[in-house]
Amino acid sequence: MNLEDIIKDTNTYYCLECGKCTSVCPVARYDKCFSPRMIIENALLGFEDELVLDRELFSCLTCYMCQSECPSDVDFPVFVREARSLAQGKGQHGICAHSGQLQSLARLMTSPNLKQKRLEWLSQEHRVSEKSDVLFWVGCAPYFEPIFEDIGFSALGITKASLKILNSLGIEPKLLPNERCCGHDALWTGDVDTFKKLAEYNAAQIKEAGVKKIVFACPEGYRTFKLDYPDYVDLDCEVQHISELLAEKIAENSHLSGKLMEIKKKVTYQDPCRLGRHLGVYDAPRKILEAIPGIELVEMKHSGLEAICCGTSAFTNCDSYSNALRAERLSEAVETGAELLITACPKCQTHFRCAQVDKGEEHRPTPKIEVIDLINLVADAIGEGGKSSKKK
């Protein structure tokens, strides 16, 4: 794909140069060199090298705040994603966070002969079944554990809580012992070749498993399977975020509602970009919070469609501007008077926790608030009654 094709496919020719995209862009508020409007203008003027060789291209959060305000429906995030594929071809990759470990892992997982030990954490307290037609997508959680251990974040904690909740709903899901990274970060940083290999491998695994539904606790995996995989592979099954499944069960007066214990906490909720603006899932997490006895939900100044991104996309170009954005969002959370900041995305939690550890060179004072995943909160509300020693 060339620049002209990208412009056509993303409605870029219809840009009115009104600047609304830049006016609402969270990055542009802090980085005065970054402007979605100027990036589009350079593309329309044919300045391809100036566009793709500028590392600012990788600073875009692809949060869809701009597109939600665009009067011409220019799909700027997808424009950026496709432009990054051109940049990759010219040797520009942006600056990888965490020493590029996560990008390297994704590429390693394209090896057809790779053997993983990704289910060693599974214990007798979780019921899973090889015969189930519901697959729970574990994703990169096992690999997040050692990388984010120093900030007190456990992605597998979310995975285990998800299984506890599914078991409470009478679901004994299937787990794939050799699934690979979904490819989200590879796709959004322009590494389409890696993404295709991962998508093809995962699609083959899922087809062989014969499942009818895939449940996700990660919005990025959910978005990738729901919106991106269909362009590359065939998946003949339903995909759903666990918050949607839970909300459905609560609405059906499921027995789960009666099992939820009281948790007397004032909380506020962070809408993840992928779950919110990318997929339009805003109500389900809130309905779940409302169903937990004792929970008082208070909204931040910017919520729902206007929610501020946690500050980094695809673990690239994480800088002082990203940290400033996180500090702003944490300030909004603290100003609500909430005791807990609830999110529904593992990456949101890593970024907010990292900001509060304050390892950046600028040592910016950062508001402190406990951050946990919605799924962990629900699992806590289920209590010991949700456990079982049966395993198939």
Q: How far is CA 30 from CA 26, 38, 272, 320, 381, in A?
A: 7, 16, 20, 9, 39
Q: 252-381 architecture in CATH?
A: 3-Layer(aba) Sandwich (3.40)
Cβ distance 307 to 337 under 8 Å?
no
Instruction: Look at residue 387 in the predicted model and tell me its pLDDT.
Output: 44
- Which one of 1.10.3860, 3.40.50, 1.10.10, 1.10.260 gives the CATH number of domain 98-248? 3.40.50
Instruction: Look at residue 255 in the predicted model and tell me its pLDDT.
Output: 66
User: What is the C-alpha separation between 130 and 285, in angstroms, rounded?
Assistant: 29
Q: How far is CA 116 from CA 5, 121, 135, 296, 371, in A?
A: 39, 13, 18, 42, 30
Instruction: Look at residue 259 in the predicted model and tell me its pLDDT.
Output: 79
Tell me the average pLDDT of the chain: 93
Instruction: Look at residue 383 in the predicted model and tell me its pLDDT.
Output: 84
Residue type, 210: G
Count Cα atoms within 13 angstroms, Cβ side, for 9.
13
Q: Three-class SS of residue 151?
A: helix
Q: How far is CA 59 from CA 38, 79, 234, 339, in A?
A: 14, 14, 32, 31
Residues 262-313 have pLDDT tens digits of 999 999 999 999 999 999 999 999 999 999 999 999 999 999 999 999 998 8
pTM metric for this prediction: 0.94
Spell out the residues 6+ positions from residue 300 whose beta carbon is closer than 8 angstroms to its own.
Answer: 268, 269, 270, 307, 329, 332, 333, 335, 336
Look at the chain and count its residues: 392
Q: State the DSSP string of 158-180.
A: HHHHHHHHHHHTT---B--TT--
The CATH classification number of 3-89 equals: 1.10.1060.10
Backbone angles phi, psi at 354, to 5 degrees: -60, -40
Q: What is the separation, in whole angstroms, between the first and last Cα of the chain?
A: 48
Tokens of 109: 């997982």
Q: In the chain, what are the domain boundaries?
A: 3-89, 98-248, 252-381
Q: What parts of the chain have a pLDDT lower than 70?
A: 254-255, 257, 358-364, 385-392
User: What is the C-alpha separation between 293 and 290, in angstroms, rounded?
Assistant: 8
- Do the domains at 3-89 and 252-381 have one common CATH topology? no
Instruction: Look at residue 360 in the predicted model and tell me its pLDDT.
Output: 53
